[in-house]
Amino acid sequence: MSDTAVAPVAKAARVQSLDVLRGISLLGILMMNITAFGLLGQAYSNPLADGGAEGWNKVAYDVIQVGFEGTMRGIFSLLFGAGIVLMTDRMESAGAGIMAAEIHFRRMLWMMLFGVIHWALLLWYGEILFAYSLCGLVLFAPRKLPAKTQIIAALLLLACAAAITGYKANALVETQAVAQMAEQAKAAGQKLNHEQEEALKEWGGALEHYTPSPEAAAGLRAIHSGSWWQAVTGQWESSYEFQWTTAPYWLLFDMIPFMLLGMGLLKLGYLGGGKPVRTYVTMMVAGYAIGLPLGWYELQHIYAGNFSPIAFSEADRTYQFSRLAMVIGHLGLALTVIRLGALKGLQRALAAVGQMALSNYIAQTLICTALFYGFGFGLYGHFERYQLYLVVAGVWLAELVWSPLWLARFRFGPMEWLWRSLTYWQRQPMKL
């Protein structure tokens, strides 16, 4: 076994295009998460719940829903899958043998711990490190499958996800009908049967998912206005439920398909930026030609249904197709710019952000926690939706500036250094 067989990737061996794409998706994730940091959680989907739904607030909501909903997570998942292939192939080619598996699983288990700390103690209930680590444990085996097999498997899983959402949409319509009849029966003084009681409970939960009750809204504001420990204990139940209750669906039908897609696209040479410019332009045009009209169609469903659970479930019928198309479109646009060598200064800054993705991801949480919780500046609920994107722009600027400055002196970001040192059971050299 060579000295470099079991060691972090050298800077010279990094794939620049992947770091740039990772930087774009890392910054883009904050664009998606910011409403959940600064407003009631239901405002992520329903602008009537909090943050305003008119003027610039409506513009911000429309742009996010049509152009970016689910896509940054999709690209990040795609890159995570590609990273598994890159790391294990590099180690196996260098003669690491079975140690490649040990390093991979150590890496995932440490990420799992980071994820638990992130959602339980750092208070970001929507964090993805925990779920990604579970996916990483599963995906070690299929990493060696042929690229076409991985892509076909990814598409089949996304088709299954679309079928499941379609089934749920039909079931919700039936639930609403039974619940309405139950409400009429209850008003008439009739005794409800078990089916009616369950329908009322399920329909009430669906309504609460998109529109918080006054009691629930007051509870969320109380969590954000107290001490850190009050926030930890107050948020624990909902965070635990989000991370665990929906985990099987998220892992199997949201994250793993894009991770498999990333593995396949990497092997076929698309993610490395080595394809002709016309290939990436075609990806961009085809992706946006499908994704944008579908996204607009879904948005009109939501508005026509006045942000009701039925409206969202109807829009979800085509969500996986519009999301996949927009991911392809965004990849095509970014890789076209990379392939042309345009905006080189911005590319270098984005690559630095991507190289420090874990540190910057945690930094986003720390900044937003300090801004929006009571033990910080207590700004929760003080901004309208569009104003939150000014906060996003400020965080983007900070990360685009500090990442290259940090990497000009150090080999890794602080969290990357810790992760690698724990993974390889050896303190890594930090300074260049």
CA 257 to chain centre: 13
Residue 147 in this model has a pLDDT that exceeds 60? yes
- Residue 1 falls inside a structural domain: no
Structure tokens at 185: 């029966």
Assess if residue 431 is contained within a domain: no
Which residue range forms the structural domain that includes residue 21? 11-423
Would you state the pLDDT for residue 59?
Answer: 97
Q: Is 122 contained in some domain?
A: yes
In a domain, 384, yes or no: yes
Is a pLDDT exceeding 80 seen at residue 5?
no
Least confident of 43-52, 107-116, 238-247, 260-269: 238-247
How confident is the prediction for the chain on average, in pLDDT? 93
Q: How many domains does the chain have?
A: 1
Cβ neighbours, 10 Å, residue 429:
12
- Judge whether residue 4 has pLDDT over 60: no
**For residue 324, is it within any domain?**
yes
User: From its phi and psi, is residue 381 left (phi > 0), alpha (psi between -120 and 50) or beta?
Assistant: left
Q: What is the mean pLDDT of residues 95-113?
A: 93
pLDDT digit string, tens, across residues 317-373? 999 999 999 999 999 999 999 999 999 999 999 999 999 999 999 999 999 999 999
**pTM score:** 0.93
* Residue 118, in any domain of the structure: yes
With respect to residue 355, please indicate whether it lies within any of the assigned structural domains.
Answer: yes
Residue 377 falls inside a structural domain: yes
Please enumerate in sequence order all residues whose Cβ is within 8 A of that of 195, keeping only pairs 6 or more positions apart, or say none. Answer: 178
Distance CA 349, CA 396 (A): 11
Instruction: Give residue 13's pLDDT.
Output: 57
C-alpha count within 13 angstroms, C-beta hemisphere, residue 339: 19
The model's confidence at residue 10, banded by pLDDT at 50, 70 and 90, is low
Evaluate if residue 247 carries a pLDDT over 90: no
Which ranges of 268-343 would DSSP assign to H, the alpha helix? 277-304, 309-315, 319-340
Give pLDDT, residue 8.
67
